[in-house]
Amino acid sequence: MLVIANWKAYVEDLGKAKKLAALAKRLSRGTKHALVLAPPAPFLGALAGKNASAVRFSAQDVSATAGGARTGEATAQAYAAAGASYAIIGHSERRAAGDTNAVVATKMAHALAHGLAPILCVGEPERDSEGRYLAFVREEVAAAVEPLSPKERGSVIVAYEPLWAIGKTAAAAADAEDLAEMAAYIRKVLAELLPGKRAERSVILYGGSVEPANIRALAAGSGIDGFLVGHASVEPATFAALVAALA
Ligand code: PGA
């Protein structure tokens, strides 16, 4: 499985960042799962330079613009040069800060143009009994994937992150049954957008209060290929327990 540690802005100290990266490197040697770290931008270059052989790195976001006179922007090209292999795009915390589906689509294109595998985050704010949440997720996937070329579409990773499950505790996360339904639905939507049978091999992740207590149950039989983990990825003992629980 693919486990992406989304450090968000929880890690603000280079010493802590280095300790977590060293831990991930150690853990990666003892597990068959692939570990990816998404540190805050200022730490990515320093960490990726030393550790990229054992763990891979992801941007938490990329700029919607190319380089130039754009103070404060961190472009996909700069992230790739610093050692990132992936980019989280359209995280709900970026969407809340103003990223529309159109902005997300532009960021997808920038990431792909510079060799970053985009981790497209989608997820409904709430569940309703009429199934409108499915149409909401479909729209987020389609808006981001439709503008891409057939070849680019094949490298999109989709992270299902329902807003109602983010930043809580394991008890509030989606359950394996919800997840199986949603993973199958996202794969169906991708099958309409990707050439041939490519969607069968698309990587689908889940994020939203993944903790050591629920990761195993969520992995088993839900049809997903990995996790995007926030708060449980920034405390060394918790992250170690999480990877151990998955094994
Ligand atoms: P959480 O965050 O694990 O803290 O719920 C997940 C995410 O937002 O990527």
Summarize pLDDT for 102-127 with one digit per residue, the tens. Answer: 999 999 999 999 999 999 999 999 99
Pocket test for ligand 1, best of 2, 36, 121, 209 (most atoms within 8 A of CB): 209
Q: Which amino acids bring their CB within 6 angstroms of ligand 1?
A: 6, 161, 166-167, 207-210, 228-232
Summarize pLDDT for 32-54 with one digit per residue, the tens. Answer: 999 999 999 999 999 998 766 78
Tell me, what's the pLDDT at 52? 65
Closest residue by Cα to residue 134 from 168, 153, 94, 162:
162
**Distance from C-alpha of 119 to C-alpha of 6, rounded to nearest angstrom:** 11
Q: Tell whether domain 2-246 is in CATH 3.20.20.70.
A: yes
Q: Give this prediction's pTM.
A: 0.97
Pocket test for ligand 1, best of 61, 215, 229 (most atoms within 8 A of CB): 229
Q: Work out the average pLDDT over 157-181.
A: 95
Rounded distance from Cα 163 to ligand 1 centre (Å): 9
Contact 34, 2 (CB under 8 A): yes
C-alpha to C-alpha distances, 64 to 21, 61, 84, 102, 225, nearest whole angstrom: 28, 9, 17, 10, 28
Q: Work out the average pLDDT over 128-146.
A: 97
The domain spans of the chain are 2-246
pLDDT band for position 88 (cuts 50, 70, 90): very high
Backbone angles phi, psi at 117, to 5 degrees: -75, 120
